[in-house]
Amino acid sequence: MAGKKKSKKKKEEDLKQKSLFSYVESSKSEKMGEEEEERTLDEETEELQDISEEFEEDAEMEVEVVQDQIYGEDIIKFKKAKVKSPSEIIPIPQDLFFKGNDKPFGLKEGNIKLEKISRESVTSKYIRYLIQKGEIVQNLERGLLLDVDYDGTQNKAYCKFYDLDTGEVKIWIDTTNHEPYCLSKEPISELKKNKELIGYDGFQRFEEIKRMDLLSDKEIKMTKIYGKTPINIGGSGTNIKNILAGNDKKAWEADIRYHLNYIFDRQLIPGLIYSIENGTIKKVKFKESEDESKKITQELHNLFKDESIEIQEFSEKFLDIFLTPIPDVKRMAMDIEVNIGEHDYRVPDPRQAKQEIISISFVATDGLKRVYILEREGFTYSKPHKNFPADAEVVFYKSEKALLTETFRILWKYPIVITFNGDNFDLNYMFHRADKLKISRDLNPIHVKRGFGILSKAECDLRKGVHIDLFNFFFNRSISGYAFGGAYESSSLNAISDALLGKEKYQHEEEIHEMEYNILSWYNLKDSLLTLELTKFNSSLVWNLIILLCRITKMPIHEMVRRQISTWIQNIFYFEHRRRGFLIPRRAEISELKKGGFKKSVIEGKGFQGAYVISPVPGIHYDVVVMDFASLYPSIIKEYNLSYETVLCPHEDCKDNLLRNTPYHTCTHKMGIFAYVVGFFRDIRVKYFKPKSSDKALSEKQRNYYNTIQQALKVFINGSYGVFGSQNFPLFCLPVAESTTSIGQYSIKQTIKKSEEIGVKVLYGDTDSVFLLNPSKDQMSKLSHWSKQELDLDLEEEKTYQFLALSERKKNYVGIYKDSKYVDIKGLVAKKKNTPDFIKKVFSHLLEILKNVTNNEEFSKAKKEIIEIVRDNLKKIGKSDAFSLEDYAINIALQKSLSGYDKVIPQHVRAALELKKATGKEFQKGETVTFIKTKGGNGAKAIELASLQDIDIKKYKELLRSALEQILDALGISFDEIKGIKKMDAFF
């Protein structure tokens, strides 16, 4: 137990003030007891944690107690349930069975007759049904805008609003007569000569308009070419874009999907609140009259009063996305279990939907807790599992068709449905399974869309409600990395709920298909409980984050949760272009005008040169202060006015306004679009929401909310530079990326120079930081002031190490914080997740000893101990009583699919292939293979197939040696000296 606790604690430190998670952890204990719901759930987990107790009463289970080698805990493993003789089988009580329900639902409700339209999407049909029923919303007081999409049958955009007064989803169809279009720089008179265009069936009409062309910094006349449908603009096959291209003419803004275009033109902000009056939508202004919001508005106005007019104007326009309170909504989580055959390790294919669905659970914010279970032969009824909540119900079904039909009834009812991996599994599976079971499509609430791109992952939406697949959201690299600070290592429900909620899934040894009803129902319900809880914990932090991200990105919820940072940022900038009447440039326009490439990258094959890493001064250092530039790249982008239109701008008088350390100049007339958008996000976060998030004068709930905003902003601030530097970003501009990093290099190099000038030794630094040897307060403030003055950047004190061990390796060090004594390990092999546990254990042992070192005398003492430990452990490798098989396990992720390895076949791939052959287990891209290094054969064996005798002792000794060498190096201990006793004596 001790070991586990420690690792948790380290994590906390790591994340301090870096993630939402840190906030979660610290606030959890205070909060308990405050909220009724939270408490019951926590109690449940308490009970859950004691699994041993839980199963002592269960006579059918054979319990095996194993000493866990990693944490020294007693882990209980369950053996398969014993096979029962038929006489033991207890029937399910009749009153627990589903009793039938004839009430019509879905499109069957209301006796509406709809004509058939071929190739119509299921959602389009539903919208026709609503139209005929007169249920398209015309009046709505307060609706949270969740989704915007395009309906092919009506050829119009439509919106899904969550009615805050009734908790229902209301669908509204565009009443503004918005039409699909693209732009051309040709005048109408020229375009009229294009017979192909004029004669094209999808062509509608021309309109002369004006746009600001940022690249030339001129307002230009353009022609808006309207098409009949979005497909006529830039779909596949013949369309206006292609007709223009065929005539050597170019189309602008033709590749933007219609519903996004609609959002841009109408300046809709998903996640904000709208009213509808006689079919017309209007944004509901947040109540400025309230004292609190008045105060905040005033504070924010003051904050930006000295900034550029671009930033002031932008902030004016978008303050309400942060200030409008986020309503909590009614929502339901669900999860299904299917009957996977014995020894079948493959994930069932949702499109085939071959296996029967045996259990479905529902948990909702309105208190619903329910499991539908299919009656199957050979399974025994018993009273509910001990931890099964008293307020949850179980309903048994004799037929799978009835079970699924009743599930659909529930799905139509809830406005928001939360799943974990519902896109690729649950919803997808149910949709196809329903077809197989011949359940009418009119009852089926699910809309399966083929995803875009080569991978073409499925996207499952609801015809009426809104589906949020949390897997998608948590899997998002920016969310896991920036918002949650890497708190969870894999994007499994188990890992995420463990990390964020401190709760785990129900652990099971038996296969799902052989679980008794009581186990199955609890297992199934637990998943839904966790899934819903993930959106509810910490005052609905995740839900708030989702809505906030919709507001910032201006993306409909269904799209926001499924796209990555690059699409988010792209959308923000497209929206902003349209808002200000700027023409969205074509990718090629930028790259032809602004070629760049003045310096090669350090690593071959990379697009441009990146950051500078200072060579460390090896050895032991005491009292090392780390100073770093606060969000270096975003600051540079703002302060140096970097944007695709400002860098290498066309103005003659800007040409001598050279950017430091680059051959490029930047604009002196206007602030660039990248610069003011990123600048605004950065400023409002650093100067306002971040301080507010830890302002003790505020209530915890308020701080919580500010923290969520602050984290959401961080996602964009940290992600923006990476996106700007990506060739795939449509506004990519190489000189912008190069200038950002080049100015960064300049800044850190100048800082080293300056430090040395004022007599401070720089020991190390990476990208945006300098490690200073025992600087005085005065020296530090001197540096800070100098940086603000000379570089326009904030250089701040970040942390102090009482002890720092550097080797000659970059990105590798061990330091101990001065105040908290927290051990900060960077880069060392022992920290990597592919390092065997036994090495990590030895390593942490060494660190325990180093923890107390504050001077050289203590250090010599520690040295002796360390040598003993290392020698001792080297001997232990391979001894049967020393380490377990799991201790030797190496975890390596597959970066590609198994078949993608054509050049070399690494160990983990060989192990995976062997396991696949032996058991049929398929490994997907991104999955982690756990294997052991073995003597002979493959050199590697999946842990499932290996035993302790197989391990390659020599290899493991070698691994331990090299892992420890990294730290021993810095401590001035050579490995040979540890091995030889004679030399050891000489050493001391």
Partner DNA sequence: TTGCTCTGCTTACC
Partner DNA sequence: ACTGGTAAGCAGAGCGC
- For DNA, the binding residues in 748-777 under the rule CB under 7 A are 766-769
Minimum distance, C-beta of residue 476 to DNA, in the bound complex (Å): 8
Query: Structure tokens of 755?
Result: 């430090």
Closest to 123 in 3D by CA, of 461, 468, 557, 469: 461
- How many angstroms separate the Cα of 877 from the Cα of each of 275, 539, 633, 756, 958? 70, 49, 47, 47, 11
Q: Does 491 bind DNA (CB under 7 A)?
A: no
Q: Which is nearer to DNA, 668 or 718 (CB)?
A: 718
Q: Does residue 928 belong to the site contacting DNA (CB under 7 A)?
A: yes
Binding range to DNA, per CB under 7 A, among 232-240, 382-390, 586-594, 603-611: 603-611
- Rounded to the nearest angstrom, the gap between the alpha carbon of residue 495 and the centroid of all alpha carbons in its chain is 14
Stretch 619-638 residues interacting with DNA (CB under 7 A): 628
Residue in 75, 323, 613, 874 binding DNA, rule: CB under 7 A:
613
* Cα three-residue angle 750-751-754, rounded to 5 degrees: 85
Closer residue to DNA (CB): 162 or 473: 473
The span from the CA of 737 to the CA of 647, in Å, is: 10
Q: How far is the CB of 681 from DNA (least distance, A)?
A: 14
Closest by Cα among 849, 839, 752 to 803: 849
Q: Tell me the window of 97-105, 520-528, 605-613, 674-682 that interacts with DNA (CB under 7 A).
A: 605-613
Stretch that binds DNA, among 424-432, 675-683, 822-830, 970-978 (CB under 7 A): 822-830
Q: How near is the Cβ of 823 to DNA at its closest, in Å?
A: 12
**Shortest approach of DNA to residue 765 CB, angstroms?**
8
Q: With contacts defined by CB under 7 A, how many residues of the chain interact with DNA?
A: 75
* Residue in 19, 223, 339, 741 binding DNA, rule: CB under 7 A: 741
> Segment contacting DNA (CB under 7 A): 296-304, 500-508, 543-551, 596-604?
596-604
Residue 953 in contact with DNA, rule: CB under 7 A? no
Query: For DNA, what does the binding mask look like between residues 670 and 709, x meaning CB under 7 A?
Result: ----------------------------------------
What φ, ψ does residue 440 adopt, rounded to 5°? -55, 140
Backbone angles phi, psi at 112, to 5 degrees: -100, 135
> Residue 950 Cβ, how far from DNA at the closest point, in Å?
15
Residue nearer to DNA on the CB measure, 524 or 755: 755
Q: Are 173 and 151 in contact (CB under 8 A)?
A: yes
What residues numbered 889-908 form the site for DNA, per CB under 7 A?
891-896, 901-908
25 vs 628, beta carbon nearer DNA: 628
- Residues 237-266 close enough to bind DNA by CB under 7 A: 257
In sequence order, the 6+-apart residues with CB closer than 8 A to the CB of 652 are none
Tokens of 570: 């792209």
Residues 955-974, interacting with DNA (CB under 7 A): 955, 958-959, 962-963, 966
Burial (CB count within 10 angstroms: exposed 0-12, middle 13-18, buried 19+), residue 510: middle
Q: What is the closest distance, in whole angstroms, from the C-beta atom of residue 313 to DNA in the complex?
A: 27
Q: How far apart are CA 226 and CA 251, in angstroms?
A: 12
Considering only 388, 721, 801, 859, the residue that binds DNA (CB under 7 A) is: 721
| SS3 assignment, position 445 | coil
Contact track, DNA, 450-479, x by CB under 7 A: --xxx----------------------xx-
Q: Is 553 in the site for DNA (CB under 7 A)?
A: no
CA nearest neighbour of 157 among 177, 145, 176, 174: 174
CB 471 within 8 A of CB 423: yes
Is 936 one of the binding residues for DNA (CB under 7 A)?
no
Residues 377-416 that bind DNA (CB under 7 A): none
CA-based nearest residue to 745, from 788, 793, 781, 786? 793
Closest CA to 736 of 595, 918, 565: 595
Sequence length of the chain is: 988
Minimum CB distance to DNA, residue 425 (Å): 20
The residue from 346, 669, 832, 954 that contacts DNA (CB under 7 A) is 832
Task: Tokens for 611, please give them.
Answer: 């950051």
Minimum distance of DNA from residue 935's CB (angstroms): 13
Nearer CB in complex with DNA: 465/610 = 610
DSSP sequence for 376-444: -TT----SPPTTS-TT-EEEEES-HHHHHHHHHHHHHH-SEEEESSIIIIIHHHHHHHHHHTT--TTT-
Burial of 789 (0-12, 13-18, 19+ CB in 10 A): exposed
Residue 261 vs 524, nearer CB to DNA: 261
Residue 831 engages DNA in binding (rule: CB under 7 A):
yes
Q: Which of 238, 492, 726, 844 binds DNA (CB under 7 A)?
A: 726
**Angle at the Cα of 725 (from 245 to 650), degrees rounded to 5?**
65
639 three-class SS: helix
Our CA angle for 379, 382, 384, nearest 5°, is 120
| DSSP alpha helix (H) spans, 805-855 | 837-850
Q: In the structure encoding, which two tokens stand for residue 980, read together?
A: 């030889």
What's the closest the beta carbon of residue 199 comes to DNA, in angstroms? 30
Asked if residue 63 lies in contact with residue 55, where contact means CB atoms within 8 angstroms, the answer is yes
Nearer to DNA, 533 or 766 (CB): 766
Any contact of residue 840 with DNA (CB under 7 A)?
no
Binder among 866, 940, 942, 951 for DNA (CB under 7 A): 940
* Vertex 275: Cα angle to 272 and 278 (nearest 5): 150
CB of 311 to DNA, least distance (A): 22
User: Among 102-110, 390-398, 434-442, 810-818, which window interacts with DNA (CB under 7 A)?
Assistant: 810-818
Tokens, residue 578: 């349209």
Q: Does 595 bind DNA (CB under 7 A)?
A: no
Number of CB atoms found within 10 A of residue 974's CB: 13
Does 811 bind DNA (CB under 7 A)? Our answer is yes
Q: Does residue number 644 form part of the binding site for DNA (CB under 7 A)?
A: no
Q: Min. distance of Cβ 482 from DNA in angstroms?
A: 7
Report, in Å, the least distance between residue 833 CB and DNA. Answer: 4
Kindly indicate which of the ranges 232-240, 290-298, 701-709, 830-838 contains the residues binding DNA, using the contact rule CB under 7 A.
Answer: 830-838
- Under rule CB under 7 A, residue 563 binds DNA: yes
CB of 630 to DNA, least distance (A): 11
- Work out how close the CB of 711 gets to DNA at its nearest, in angstroms, rounded to a whole number: 15
Q: Are strands 357-364 and 458-462 parallel, antiparallel or unpaired?
A: unpaired
